[in-house]
Structure 1
Amino acid sequence: MAAGVPRIFVSHLQGVAVFDPAGDQVGRVRDLVVMLRMGQRPPRLLGLVVELATRRRIFLPMTRVTAIQSGQIITTGVLNVRRFEQRPTERLVFGELLDRRVTLTEAGEEVTVLDLSVHQLPARREWEIDRVFVRKGRKGSAFRRAKGEALTVEWTAVTGFTLEEQGQGAENLLATFEQLRPADLANVLHHLSPKRRAEVAAALDDDRLADVLEELPEDDQIEILGKLKEERAADVLEAMDPDDAADLLGELPTDEQERLLSLMQPGDAADMRRLMSYEDRTAGGLMTTEPIVLRPDASVADALARVRNRDLSPALAAQVYVCRPPDETPTGKYLGTVHFQRLLREPPPSLVSSILDNDLQPLDPEAELPAIAGFFATYDMVAAPVVDEAGSLLGAVTVDDVLDHMLPEDWRETEFHLDEEVATDGS
């Protein structure tokens, strides 16, 4: 969703239809899920509670929303249909925040919350509640409408919503760590007690927990995953990068692997099985199955639009792979690669097929780690295509995955201990 989207009052979203990219209705909005934060920081909008035609209510993350326009919401088409379960750090807007009594900070006057507005942060995919529409005077009832001045104020102008500073519950701990990068939050989790680590992990949303798990040592990953309900564990694995999720699954007993795979979406489970079929330190074992794939008739403008996806890592966004249909890996015949810098130098209407770099030999899925590292070092690459004998693109290996496997197995633990020592020395 583009930055600069107009402010939206949540009352306008209640009951709004939700559509997939093909224009088929999948359900209607029944509530919004936010995470309150300590102090005066505005809450983050995590997603929507959507009621399907079957009356089941599911959670739709805001990262899966591509547009809110003309009284409708468009999704990426990827929906997890498991029943919505509210987590400790989450609040329901319609169910818990509206019609609530709060206090105007400056005047010390109690008011009733009538509505809240949300907006998307510039150049980011996050949404926040920024303003509160309130009415002064006593609260109304079912038989008497309250009278009094109605006004819109900034979130920071009222109190009575946010988390209390006292206490050591997982909610407060999570609010404290919210601004940390995944690697830094992983560092924090690594040093918590197992009980506290499990509490914080349970309170994180799926995408955030997936990002953090990718940065944790293997033992911590297995411990945290083992303490989640199996359906939640499957959701988190789906949210992880496919290669990282496959590595984690590969460390679990076979029967547990199969239970989790059976709970995943069929496409995600198929990717996991394919990745797990390769040896760990080969191109097939290291690759992600979700690179940017374009058809030869796509334009440079199309390629740049795909590269702008905020969910992509810098390495995956550095180049696109041009293939004949099908577009999902394994693709049709792999034709070549177009690097991001080349895209910037070409007119937007140009076809990607006219600017292919097809001189470099792609990686074989059985290529071993030394050969892969040599390829990256020789050609100054940050990502490389993996192509099978039939000429189909299977995925892409990124330089961060190569580094992860070339460093000592305990490098994450060593890094965490070094950080701890530096903090101790600097205190």
Structure 2
Amino acid sequence: MAAVTRVFVARMAGLSVFGPDGESIGRVRDVVAGLSVRRRPPRVLGLVVELATRRRIFVPMLRVTRIEAGAVTLATGSVNLRQFHKRPNELLVLGQLLDARVSAEGSPAVLVDAALEQTRTRDWQLTKLAVRDRTGRLGRRGPTRVVDWDQVSGLEFAEVTGRPQGVQQLLAMFDTMRAVDVASTLHGLPNKRRYEVAEALDDDRLADVVEELPEDDQKDLLDHLDDRRAADVLEAMNPDDAADLLAELSEVDKNRLLELMKPEESAPVKRLLAYSADTAGGLMTPEPLVVTPDATIAEALALARNPDLPIAVASVVFVCRPPNATPTGPYLGCVHLQRLLREPPSNLVAGALDTDLASLPPGAPLTELTRYFAAYNLVCGPVLDDEEHLIGAVTVDDLLDHLLPEGWRIGGLPDQDANQPTTGEAR
């Protein structure tokens, strides 16, 4: 496929980035341009590329040899693998420029996209802008048109001067992204922009994203939201994630937010807070799949099919005497999803029980949990109290969250080259 010499930035978001030998490097997350001090098109400095480890690095445009419809190809040579940090004289096109309110050919408009174009000197510039007219009539959208950069005013120092910008373009992009990818993008935005996005997302979506953010970002966003909204977001989070976040707050802030939560939502969170964060009780979800022994295989499968369930939680159905909510009645055993798929739908789950699987006490430390999952090849295990009641289930992903180094979600694992000289270009 032929390389292009003009491409719109919004279409580059998420494009795969390949090395000269075809090896996958990561995905494009943003375009970095220099701030324009005059009305001339700003020079494109490079790309923000997210590696498989979630680390974001800067790739200079001189390393880019081809931009195609589905991929970006880099030239032979090394790049700096250090974490990307935006400089004061730089602009993130997706994160900061789009949705800016501008004047296009004298008419009020909103910037909806920007085009990169390669010049005769093989440099890249932001030469064209796609703008949508603001008609001011009951919020109706005007037509979209493409104009030259110098036909638009009000852009040069939009972010520096703090001019309010909308977030509709970012929200539209986030609609098709996983929560972990939205969190990664949010982490790289300026605080002001991050708060605007958080305020625009609904509670459920924001809760999913907050669960994937580093601890410091979680606390920062929670502190920015008013108490009522913060409590609503905590209610929408998985109880174990909400408990982890609340445990990092002061006692005053934690208790205030717990009081604002609905009693039925705060009760499981309070139970989790009673345990140390590095034990089975602190890691467990208090909402595993539970059925009574007279339930059918079909009923158990119907519960496991819930698309909102984490995959690990859906892998095991626990069988207990009533009540079904944790803490349950006496624990009888469990049925693994693969066994459910092999049984006639009309059979009772009681006939397919695994009664030999060892359970976990709530005080089990991380070392014991690690040995447990390795020994039984599981992704989800039951946690029982002293009276053999099911109080929750630990999943392997929650265990990994606590075993991996701090900051792994966004910055990736610790630098492979942290104690080595940088092999790429200085930036």
TM-score by length of 1: 0.59
The answer (yes or no) to whether the contact 2:408–2:414 under 8 Å persists in 1 is no
Within a 5 Å distance, the mapping from 1:3-402 to structure 2 comes to 160=141, 168-402=165-399
Query: Match of 1:275, as an amino acid?
Result: L
**C-alpha deviations, 1:318-361, integer Å up to 9, x for none?**
01000011110000001101000000111111111111101011
**C-alpha deviations, 1:360-399, integer Å up to 9, x for none?**
1111000001100111011100000100001110011001
| Equivalence for 1:10 | none
Runs of 4+ off more than 6 Å: 161-167
Separation in structure 1 between the aligned mates of residue 355 and residue 198 of structure 2, nearest angstrom = 44
Separation in structure 2 between the aligned mates of residue 330 and residue 164 of structure 1, nearest angstrom = 60
Displacement after TM superposition at 1:413 (Å): 4.1
Query: Match of 1:347, as an amino acid?
Result: P
Query: Match of 1:263, as an amino acid?
Result: L
| Equivalence for 1:74 | none
**In structure 2, the residue corresponding to 1:327 is in which secondary structure?**
coil
Q: Which runs of 5+ in 1 are unaligned?
A: 1-37, 40-158, 419-423
**C-alpha deviations, 1:105-140, integer Å up to 9, x for none?**
xxxxxxxxxxxxxxxxxxxxxxxxxxxxxxxxxxxx
The answer (yes or no) to whether the contact 1:234–1:263 under 8 Å persists in 2 is yes
Displacement after TM superposition at 1:160 (Å): 4.7
Separation in structure 1 between the aligned mates of residue 285 and residue 142 of structure 2, nearest angstrom = 42
Displacement after TM superposition at 1:180 (Å): 1.3
Separation in structure 1 between the aligned mates of residue 360 and residue 328 of structure 2, nearest angstrom = 15
**In structure 2, the residue corresponding to 1:303 is in which secondary structure?**
helix
- Does residue 409 (structure 1) correspond to residue 403 (structure 2)? The answer is no
**C-alpha deviations, 1:79-106, integer Å up to 9, x for none?**
xxxxxxxxxxxxxxxxxxxxxxxxxxxx
Computing the radius of gyration from Cα coordinates, the structure with the larger value is 2
Separation in structure 2 between the aligned mates of residue 248 and residue 404 of structure 1, nearest angstrom = 13
Q: Which runs of 5+ in 2 are unaligned?
A: 1-9, 12-139, 147-151, 156-164, 416-423
Displacement after TM superposition at 1:262 (Å): 0.9
Separation in structure 2 between the aligned mates of residue 251 and residue 369 of structure 1, nearest angstrom = 19
The answer (yes or no) to whether the contact 1:163–1:172 under 8 Å persists in 2 is no
**In structure 2, the residue corresponding to 1:371 is in which secondary structure?**
helix
Identity fraction in percent: 55
Separation in structure 2 between the aligned mates of residue 272 and residue 200 of structure 1, nearest angstrom = 27
1:417/1:177 CA distance change after superposition, 3 Å: farther
The answer (yes or no) to whether the contact 2:405–2:413 under 8 Å persists in 1 is no
Separation in structure 1 between the aligned mates of residue 168 and residue 141 of structure 2, nearest angstrom = 16
Separation in structure 2 between the aligned mates of residue 339 and residue 164 of structure 1, nearest angstrom = 56
The answer (yes or no) to whether the contact 2:280–2:364 under 8 Å persists in 1 is yes
**C-alpha deviations, 1:1-31, integer Å up to 9, x for none?**
xxxxxxxxxxxxxxxxxxxxxxxxxxxxxxx
Displacement after TM superposition at 1:414 (Å): 2.8
Displacement after TM superposition at 1:416 (Å): 8.7
The answer (yes or no) to whether the contact 1:187–1:416 under 8 Å persists in 2 is no
The answer (yes or no) to whether the contact 2:405–2:414 under 8 Å persists in 1 is no
Query: Match of 1:192, as an amino acid?
Result: L
Separation in structure 1 between the aligned mates of residue 310 and residue 215 of structure 2, nearest angstrom = 21
Separation in structure 1 between the aligned mates of residue 323 and residue 178 of structure 2, nearest angstrom = 36
| Equivalence for 2:38 | none
Query: Match of 2:286, as an amino acid?
Result: T
TM-score by length of 2: 0.59
Query: Match of 2:170, as an amino acid?
Result: L
Q: Per chain length, whose mean CA-contact separation is higher, i.e. which structure has more relative contact order (CA < 8 Å, sep 6+)?
A: 2
Separation in structure 1 between the aligned mates of residue 144 and residue 258 of structure 2, nearest angstrom = 37
Separation in structure 2 between the aligned mates of residue 205 and residue 199 of structure 1, nearest angstrom = 12
Separation in structure 2 between the aligned mates of residue 163 and residue 357 of structure 1, nearest angstrom = 61
Aligned length: 266
Displacement after TM superposition at 1:255 (Å): 1.1
| Equivalence for 1:24 | none
